[in-house]
Amino acid sequence: MQTLKKQYTLAEYRTLEEAAEERHEYHDGANVAMTGGTLEHSAISGNIYALLKGALRRSCFKPFNSDLRVWVPRYHKGVYPDVSVIEGDVAFTDNRRDEILNPTLIVEVLSTSTEAYDRGDKFICYRSIPTFSEYLLVSQYQPWIDHYTKSENGDWLLRSYGKLTDQLHLATGGAPLEMADIYEDVFSL
């Protein structure tokens, strides 16, 4: 990600983003251009979205792809997770249709340039969202997923998966996900 030098008000950013051909995140005044993804990144995030769409059909959980921005009020940031899931009604920022406040599950497919941010500062920001309770960090370079779930006392618990024969059991909607399906067309058994 590359930060453009000029500081923007939130209103300026949102106006620019509505007309932009490329997506940008908003980091408390900074307009941060999103870098392009790899074939593997696109395949994995697409697989996860499709799996969640099927598994959560006719439930109160709704998955969304990376086109929908998540607003993090405490840190004054607008970010684009690879996949997000909302439970119940969507809470929009200021009645906008492009920016939500209430993800339950967030998925980030890791790249060399974003892994430290996704594991560190971005995870800290996400944890300030009251509804956020589950986080998947998915490697695109090897079959590996770190699955964080928020316990009832607020602690974050980690379970890692590293075999294509593994199955994840999401707290969000109870959806089971097969590692082989997540990595379809990227890695094979």
8 A C-beta contact, residue 160 and residue 146:
yes
Q: Phi/psi at 22 (nearest 5 deg)?
A: -110, 155
Domain coordinates of the chain in residue numbers? 1-34, 38-182
Confidence of residue 68 (pLDDT cuts 50, 70, 90): very high
* CATH of the structural domain 38-182, one choice from 3.90.1570.10, 3.40.50.1820, 3.40.50.300, 2.60.40.10: 3.90.1570.10
pLDDT band at residue 130 using 50, 70 and 90 as cut-offs: very high
Q: State residue 6's pLDDT score.
A: 78
Tell me which amino acid residue 47 is.
Answer: N
Q: Supply the pLDDT for residue 9.
A: 78
Residues 6+ apart with CB under 8 A from 142: 162, 187
pTM for this entry: 0.89
Q: Is 165 left (phi over 0), alpha (psi -120 to 50) or beta?
A: alpha
Question: Model confidence over 76-93: pLDDT tens digits?
Answer: 999 999 999 999 999 999
Q: What is the tens place of the pLDDT at every residue in 136-184?
A: 999 999 999 999 999 999 999 999 999 999 999 999 999 899 999 999 9
Beta strands in 35-144 (DSSP E): 61-64, 69-72, 77-79, 83-87, 99-100, 103-110, 134-139
